Amino acid sequence: MSYIRAEIILPQELLELIQEYAGGQYLYIPKKADNRKVWGENTDSKYKVRLRDAEIYSKYKNGTSASDLAEEYFLSLKSIQRIILKEKNIKAIEVTQYI
């Protein structure tokens, strides 16, 4: 992450006030909450994880053990168990929507 020199973007009176509190320090100024993006919004990461999880559940349903899936996907056994439970609940919700 690069930084921008404060004297370039801040008004002089604000810069002087900040210097009183943190002169010479590096500061991180977070974005406003309403400007933050949700994880995966800028990329297709969320979609890829969703596909991976569906694939894991499918393999589990077809007989692959959770420990084998953990090795194959480089995840902990607990993570695989969470994915299986989550996917199972998603499938149950999908089925009940059609009833």
Q: What's the confidence (pLDDT) of residue 17? A: 93
Output the pLDDT for position 28.
85
DSSP labels for 19-71?
Answer: HHHHTT-----PPPGGGPPPTTSSSSHHHHHHHHHHHHHHHHHTT--HHHHHH
The reported pLDDT for the residue numbered 98 is 67
Mean pLDDT, contiguous 10-residue spans, the chain (99 residues):
84 93 87 73 86 96 97 97 95 74
SS3 state of residue 5: coil
State pTM to two decimals: 0.58
Predicted local confidence at residue 32, as pLDDT: 80
Q: How far is CA 71 from CA 12, 34, 45, 79, 86, in A?
A: 57, 39, 21, 11, 19
| pLDDT value for 99 | 62
Residue 84 Ramachandran class (φ > 0 left, ψ -120 to 50 alpha, else beta): alpha
